[in-house]
Structures are given as structure tokens and as C-alpha cells.
Amino acid sequence: MKRLLFLVLLFTAQDAFCQLKLARLFSDHVVLQRQKPIPVWGWSKPGEKVKVTLAGQTSEGKADASGKWQVSFKPIEAGGPHTMQVTAKSGNVVVNDILIGEVWLCSGQSNMEWPVSAAKNFEEEKKDAEYPQIRHFRVDHQVSMQPEKDLNAGEWKLATSGTVGAFSAIGFFFAREINKKLNIPVGILHSSWGGSQIEGWISKEAMLEDEELKTYVATMPKTWEEADVVMDVKLRKQLFKSASVSPSADDEKKYISGNADFSSWQKVADPVGQWDWKGSQGFRGKGYMAKEVDIAAEITAQPTTLSVPENDSPNQIYINGKLVYEGEMKGTRKISIPANTWKAGKNQLVIRMGNMVGQSWFGPGFMGSANDLYLEAGSGKVNIAKDWYLMPSFSEKHEYAHLVNNVGTTIYNAMIVPLIPFAIRGTLWYQGETNAPRAYQYRKSFPLMINDWRRRWKDDFSFYWVQLSSFGSENDSNQGSSWAELREAQNMTLSLPKTGMAVSTDVGNPKDIHPTNKQDVAHRLATNALKFDYGQNIPYASPIFDKVVFNDKTAQVTFRNAENGLMTRDKYGYVKGFEIAGEDKVFHFAQAVIEGDKVIVSNPTNSKPVSVRYAWSDAPEDANLYSKDGFPVSAFRSDDWTGQTVGVRFE
């Protein structure tokens, strides 16, 4: 009887698996690409014939041995709504409210993922959000060691004041401009992941074509268990400068002794938040947080209260080697510390913690606000919210979450492969912040990914990206800038056909890696599309360095995309942001004068310049040169001197 029941369940499961289904992208409200062949695919019983009808066309196919089938429709002009009907012996599927228009894949990291609800002037933008012809499909975050067949979730949503807040801001503002200018439907296929590095978006096959990345493929983990070992080695190498160092339980007892050496620990200015973003990517297990606290002598004889943000894992808190608290507690904790526990001068405060209980995905770390981290003594407070040290426990059981940057190619496998070969007009890309430390390698990895995607789609579609914005310090060329080097790599990738770039340094925020002005950025992407994909005769791009001619005392710089001339755009009215250097390679800030589409650069201390640079900084706030068409000039350098990131490789 049990065997019979097992066979019934088995055949029922197999039958359900073989039922006719479409790839998840082909669902109600989908936008399909106009003027290109439209591939449609799904699954059914192996060998089964499938018939699909759309907009007066009928196409038939046959499922292969794995059950996958695919058909194609001839190009269709913009319009709708249409209905798609799929029929086979194993079932029938109907897709309603299909529009034919323009489809753009939006991908990258957090600035592409940044929602309309967090963009500038959201309340005003909601008033201009009722666009039933604009639809948005968000691909869920997922990683996979092997290429996935289909998406696990996702649906097409119409743009309304109630839905638009969750749309990609770049994607929506771009789509809205295209829709207004062309009056045709626009589909936003949004597949991005905050913090992601480009190597996660590249296929294994493409990596094998690259001399540097193919060495990574040779040793790349094949299972998540192997990946945990690799992550563990990386983290120990990062902390201890040697992968062979693996602290024992006895070694870790010293952490709470009151005389610990924190020199190898991960130092963080802000201790609140997931450890994933503080140098311990994906670590899940027990760990230690420590701070050296300066205590005035008059406080030591008083009872004090230690305020600690939420972490509901079993905690132990030690002051100078003495256990002062042990237990679990939700919310902000107020811990009474007896008099004479602190000593005058430096004290070691160490908190032993594990993964959050209520939200285990969070891992170790504080939730809440840094304002909840302080020491209260009488009517006064001692601020302890900055400069902490973190150390995972390697001697106890631990693992690593399957996150965005654990293993290369895994985002591509899960978040790009299931989209192929869905017909698109092109791709919008906003990524690079995570790759800035190895910007020189981005010269190869970025065009490698673009060519890889085009090859997988069998379509040389348009590819437009956002150049890194301004974030961090306004360092000069003598200090160097990894972000400037990444922008340079993005400039160089313009050598690929059908590419374009939106410069965004002027609308960034040096204090926030997520500038909220996504409207101007999306407009600059849209001008590329309107020019090259939709045939409008408009100014479309930022001026890009063309060449420099050095005289005895000056550098004469010319630009592409500056045919209508150059200008400054601030209250000062003179050009800022230029530097020049002589053969000693020492840079000096320079005077710059606009002459038509050229800039003449000089510095009285440098009579024989050999190099000129502009906006060569992480956050070039001074840079104020624009084309008269209103586009900011891209950062550049005329030299090829060795930068900060040469030799830094993906591992």
C-alpha cells in the first residue's frame, strides 16, 4: 500500500512538472520589444508540440528532451493590448494585457536599485506617475552555482502613484522620458543588486576568455560548501595578513581577558549595522565587538548605565575582563554597571554576540541607531558610538550566507540567464563603486561583460551606463584616486560600438554613495537612447577628452562632443578642477581659460607641463566645466602613469 501511494505521488509530481508553462517573464502586463523578432519559451512534456498565438501570428514548436520549447514571432510594431495563447496537450496558458514597445534591461548595483521612493522630490514625482504604458519587472535577488532555467518570482507592474515608489528610479525616469517623447509603451526589466561586483555578472565561459579571470575560474568553488572554505580563507587573510592563521578557542579567550590586542581586528567607524558591510562579508556565527573607552577618574566610583542597540542573540558583555551582562533581550538594552567596574583611563569593552535570533539573515551586528550606544553616568553621557573593532569567531561553528559577492558568475547564473533571450532594445548599467579598488582591471572586465551579454543574446543591443558619481574626499592627483581610475576605465569602454555614458559627478553627494538626484542621471541616459536608438537629432553626451598640445607654459586641451562650445556653471564664472604636472610628476592646481571648444591650462610654477588632469578625485566638487549643451565634462588625464589600482586583481 505504501509503495502504491509512493508511485501515485511520484507520477502526480511528474505530471505537474510536465504541465505546460511559460517562462515567468511572459505574464500579464508584459511589454515585448517592437521591431525585433520576439522569442517566447517555456516548458511542457518532452516531445510535446506547442502552439502559440500573438497579434494575429501563430508559431509552433516542440519541447526537447528536457521539456523546454521555444518559438519566435516576426517583428511587431508598437501597440496593444494583445493576448497570447499557448496550447498543448498538457494544458493551456493565456497571457493578458500585452503591450508591444521598448524594453530596457536595467542592471548594476545599489544606485540602479535605488527606488523612486528614495529619490529627490518623491512626493512631486508621484503626481507624475500614472503611466499605464510603463511597466516594471523586478528580478529577485538570487545567486546560483549553476545557470538557472527560470525566475522563481516576479511580475510586471503598471506605473501608478501607488506602485512607482518601488520601481528603479533610474529605470522609471528614463522610461518616462522615452514614453513622453515617443508615445509608445516602455518595459523596465530590472535586475540589479546593491554592492555587487562586476565579476558576479559575467558568465564562466566569458571569464575563461580573459587571461586574468580564467585563473579564477580554475579554482572557483563548485559548491557552497567549497565557497565557505574560500570565504573563510579570504577573511582570515584579510584580518591576519595570512590565511594560515586560524585562532583556537584558547586564542579567542584572550579577546575577553581585558588585555586583548585589537591590532588585527576590523576597525569600523560606525559599529551599527550588518557585518556584511563592515568587512566580514557573509559571515554567520559568533563574534566579538570591542572598544577602548576612556573614562574620567570621577566616574569610576559611580554606578553607570551602558546603553546597547538591539541584538537579540545570546550576549556576554565584558569590561576589563569582567563579565557584567549575559542573556538575550529584544530592543535597546540598558545594562546597570556597578561602581568601580570602570577604571580611570583606557578600558576594554568587549561584547560577544552571535547571529540575530528574530532576524537570523542579519547575522552578527547591531540593529537600530548609533544614538543608542552610550554610557550614562549620573546626568552626563559618554559617547561610545564610534571607532569599534570587530572579530569573527573562527574557532566556533560558523558558515557564510550565499550573498552577492561570495562567488563570481553566480549573479549572472541566477539573475541574467533566465532573461535570455527575452528581446530588448538595450541595457542601462549603473555599477562600479564596488570595483573601484581594482579599477585598472575594470578596463577588461567591463567590456568583457558587455560583449558576453550581447553574445548570449545574439544581439548587439545598445549599452549605456552611468559614470561613477562623486563620493568621498576631494583628493588631488598627488594622492591618487581609485574612483577616478574607474571613471577612466568607463571612458575607455566607449570604444565599443553602440555604447554611451552619462557623466554624474556634478549631481553626486560626497557624503553619501547614493545621491538622490536620479532624474538628471536618467535624462542623460535617455539622450543617448533618443539620439542613437530613436533617431532624434539632439545633443546627447558629455565632452570627452580628445587630445592635448603642450607648449612651453601651457596645455591646450580639446574635447569631443563640445562642438557648440564650453562654459562654466556656477557663480564664480571661471574654470576649476584642472591640474598640471611636469616631468617630476608633481601636480599643481592650474588656471584654465575657455577658448571655444578648447581649454588652455597653465600654472606659473610649471613652465614645461607634460600632463594635464581634470576632476581627478574621488569627489571632484570643484569641477565645473560643461558643454554649452548642458552636459558636464568627464574626468580625464592625458598621461598613462601608474595609478593606485594597477596590479589589484579579482580573487
| Bridge partners, 429 (sequence order) | 107, 465
Q: Which tens digits make up the pLDDT trace of 215-234? A: 999 999 999 999 999 999 99
Give the Cα separation of 465 and 112 in Å (integer): 10
Per mean pLDDT, which range of 19-28, 188-197, 271-280, 418-427 is the poorest?
271-280
Asked if residue 421 has a cis previous peptide bond (ω within 30° of 0), the answer is: yes
326 band by pLDDT with thresholds 50, 70 and 90 = very high
Bridge-based pairing of strands 186-192 and 131-138 is: parallel
Domain with CATH 2.60.120.260 in the chain: 249-400
pLDDT > 50? residue 513:
yes
Of residues 404 and 176, more confidence is placed in: 176
Q: What is the pLDDT of residue 9?
A: 42
The sign of the CA dihedral 266, 270, 272, 274 is negative
What's the rounded mean pLDDT across residues 497-524? 97
Q: What is the pLDDT of residue 285?
A: 95
pLDDT > 70? residue 16:
no
| Bridge partners, 274 (sequence order) | 365
Q: What is the pLDDT of residue 89?
A: 96
Asked if residue 497 has a cis previous peptide bond (ω within 30° of 0), the answer is: no
What's the rounded mean pLDDT across residues 447-461? 98
3-state secondary structure of 145: coil
Q: What is the pLDDT of residue 18?
A: 67
Q: What's 199-268 look like in SS3?
A: HHHCCHHHHCCCCCHHHHHHHCCCCHHHHHHHHHHHHHHHHHCCCCCCCCHHHHHHHHCCCCCCCCCEEE
Q: What is the pLDDT of residue 15?
A: 45
Cell 553619501 locates to 512
572 band by pLDDT with thresholds 50, 70 and 90 = confident
With a pLDDT cut of 90, the percent of the chain lying above it is: 88
Give the Cα separation of 586 and 477 in Å (integer): 8
CA-wise closest residue to 107 among 200, 174, 191, 203: 191
447 band by pLDDT with thresholds 50, 70 and 90 = very high
Residue 223 CB-half CA count within 13 A: 3
Q: What is the pLDDT of residue 3?
A: 54
294 band by pLDDT with thresholds 50, 70 and 90 = very high
Q: What is the pLDDT of residue 11?
A: 40
Q: Which tens digits make up the pLDDT trace of 365-387? A: 999 888 999 999 988 888 899 99
Q: What is the pLDDT of residue 570?
A: 82
pLDDT > 90? residue 14:
no
Give the Cα separation of 588 and 579 in Å (integer): 5
Q: What's 430-497 look like in SS3?
A: ECCCCCHHHHHHHHHHHHHHHHHHHHHHCCCCEEEEECCCCCCCCCCCCCCCHHHHHHHHHHHHHHCC
3-state secondary structure of 327: strand
Cell 499557448 locates to 86
pLDDT > 60? residue 144:
yes
CA-wise closest residue to 503 among 472, 532, 465, 536: 465
Cell 512534456 locates to 45
Q: What is the DSSP string of 543-601?
A: -EEEEEEE-SSEEEEEEES-TT-EEE-SSS-SB--EEEE-TT--EEE-EEEEETTEEEE
CA-wise closest residue to 89 among 127, 109, 62: 62
For residue 444 the three cell numbers come to: 577588461
- Does the domain at 249-400 match CATH 3.90.1180.10? Answer given as no
With a pLDDT cut of 70, the percent of the chain lying above it is: 97
Q: What is the pLDDT of residue 328?
A: 87
Q: How far is CA 648 from CA 295, 486, 505, 644, 651, in A?
A: 42, 13, 24, 9, 9
330 band by pLDDT with thresholds 50, 70 and 90 = confident
Tally Cβ neighbours within 10 Å of residue 14. 10
Give the Cα separation of 191 and 139 in Å (integer): 5
Q: Which residues, including other chains, have CB under 8 Å from residue 541's CB and lie 6 or more apart?
A: 500, 501, 527, 528, 531, 561, 631
CA angle in degrees (0–180, nearest 5) for 293-298-301? 90
